[in-house]
Amino acid sequence: MLVRIAVAIMVCAIAAPAVLRSQNRPIDLERSTLTVFVYKSGLFSVLADDHVIRAPLAGGMISEDSPLGVGISVHSAGLVVLDPGLSVEKRADVQARMLGPEVLDSARFPDIEFASTAIERLRADAWNVSGRVTIHGVTRSARFEVARQDGHYRGSTLVKLRDFRIEPISIAGGTVKVKDELKIEFDIVPAERSQ
C-alpha cells in the first residue's frame, strides 16, 4: 500500500510541471492590439476615405506548449474608428454606421471571436494557424501565418465582409463603396507567467 502511494506521489511530482507548462495563459489585454483596415473602391473612390479601426480585445487565452492554441474575443461595440484625418462629426457618422444594423449590428451580435483548431510550425518562431472566426453571428474558417518576436505574436489576415453576411456599404449609386475585403493586423502578447 505504501509503495503504491509513493509511486502515485512520484508520478504526480513528475507530471505536474508538464501540466502546468501546458496550461493556457491569459492574453495581456493592455499590450495586445487588433487593428482593422477598411479600404474604398469605386469610380469616385478618391472622394472617399479608407478607415483604420481599433478593436480592443475583451479576452483571450494562449497555450505556447503542446497542445498549442489561441482564442480571442472582442466586443463589437468596443470597436473605435480612428481616422484622424476625418472631422469629429464625420468620424462619429462612420462609427455609428459601423456599429449599426447596416454593418456589425453590435446590438444583435455583440461578440467577435476567434478560436484556433490547429497550429502547424513552419520554422523557428513561425506558425500557420487555422481556426474559426465568428463575426455578425456567422462562423467561418480562417488560416494565417503568425511570427513571434520579443514575446509578441504578430500577423495579419484578410476577411471578406460578404462571407459574414455583411453587405459592403455603397453610396452615390455604387460609385463609392467599401471593398468587400478588409485587413486585420494583430499583435498578441501573453500575460506574464505568475511566479
pTM of the model: 0.79
**Higher-scoring residue by pLDDT: 22, 72:** 72
The closest of 112, 164, 121, 161 to 145, measured between CA atoms, is 121
Largest CA distance in the chain: 83
pLDDT > 80? residue 159: yes
AA letter at 65: D
**Higher-scoring residue by pLDDT: 83, 108:** 108
pLDDT band at 72 (very low <50, low <70, confident <90, very high): very high
Which residues fall within 8 angstroms of residue 149, CB to CB, at 6 or more apart?
125
Inter-residue contact 41 to 179 (CB < 8 Å): yes
Which residues fall within 8 angstroms of residue 117, CB to CB, at 6 or more apart?
130, 131, 132
pLDDT of residue 171: 59
Residue 43's alpha-carbon distances to 151, 162, 169, 172, 183, in angstroms, are: 43, 21, 14, 10, 21
pLDDT of residue 48: 54
Q: What proportion of the chain, given as a percentage, has pLDDT over 90?
A: 62
Domains (range + CATH), the chain: 27-188 (2.40.128.110)
The two beta strands, 57-63 and 80-81, are unpaired
pLDDT > 50? residue 172: no
Residue 112's alpha-carbon distances to 43, 50, 96, 115, in angstroms, are: 32, 22, 18, 11
pLDDT of residue 64: 86
